[in-house]
Structure 1
Amino acid sequence: MAPPPPGAGVLITYIRNCTDTWNSCANQFTWTATAEVIPAKFRHIHTDTKKLVANNSK
C-alpha cells in the first residue's frame, strides 16, 4: 500500500476517530426490508436522482 499524500494524516486521524466513536456507541442493526424490496427502492431513488440532475443541468 502506498503511503498517504502529505496532509492526509489529519484526515486519516479524523476518520479513525469518527469510526472509533461510532463503533463505541454501536447498536445492533435489524433489517426491516426484504431482499426483493431493496433493489426496487434503489431503482426508485436512482431514477429520482437522475431526474434531479437532468433538471438542474438545464
Structure 2
Amino acid sequence: MAHPVIDADECIACGVCVDACPAGVLELNDVATVADEDSCVACGACQDACPAGAITEIVDE
C-alpha cells in the first residue's frame, strides 16, 4: 500500500488536496497533514490535485 507524504516547505495550504481525498485522511492546519495514514486508499488523488507539487506517494513494502 502507499501513503502520501507532504513537504511542509512546499505546501501552500490551499486545501485542494483535502477536498480531493476520497478517504478523508488529510487535514489542513498551517499546512496540509496526513491525519489518518492507515485509512489511505492509495489513489493518488491528493498528489494529482496539489498545485504546488508538495505531495509524494510513498509505497510501503
TM-score for both structures, normalised by structure 2: 0.21
Q: Does 1 or 2 have the higher relative contact order (CA < 8 Å, sep 6+)? A: 2
Q: Which has the higher helix share?
A: 1
Q: Which has the higher strand share?
A: 2
